[in-house]
Amino acid sequence: MLFRKRAWDLMRDDFATVDEAASLAEAVRALRASQKKAPENNVVLVMGKSGGKDVLKGVVSVWTVLAALDENVLRDPELKVAREGDFDKAFARASAVCTHTPLDTHMEPDVPTLKPNDPMPVVLELFLRRRRGWAVVQENGKVLGVILVADLYRELSGDIAAAL
């Protein structure tokens, strides 16, 4: 079964997107909305225009959101000296400032991509080599879908269990 399955078979064609002009707050809202349908989703695609066509500019993942919070919120000197009652206000203020920054400072522009006909071993190799929890499936520059590491594991573990 390993060589019969393709990226096309694993990908989700319902995925969250935001425009490249969006703020980090908009990406967080899009990610939270997509997680209502698919709780394991951990990525939002950042799309832009080039020559009148939609093109993938990068990705905002839960890791990039957490890194932004660490860098811009948790390291805020005011939070370190805030009393318990003031901490929530200081955290909310720092979070608002952080999430209203442009996406280009937070998105990952180096996106692991697959072609729809890539076989399962190519998909697995990309996930292992790039160490990301997601990959984008594209054909001729058009985004067709997203594969999450949970999708890959579900497929592979099913084959492993069937072989036991």
Domains defined along the chain, listed by start: 7-163 (3.10.580.10)
Sheet (strand 43-50) strand order: 17-19, 43-50, 53-61
Three-class SS state of 109: coil
- The whole-number pLDDT of residue 76 equals 66
Average pLDDT over residues 19-35: 93
The residues pairing with 148 across neighbouring beta strands, listed in sequence order, are 134
Q: 56-113 pLDDT, tens per residue?
A: 999 999 998 888 887 776 666 666 666 666 667 777 777 777 777 888 888 999 999 9
String of b and e for 101-138 (b: at least 16 CB within 10 Å)?
A: eebeebbbeebbbbeeebebeebeebbeeeebbbbbbb
What residues are paired with 6 via a beta bridge? 119
Backbone dihedral region for residue 140 (phi beyond 0: left; psi -120 to 50: alpha; all else: beta):
left
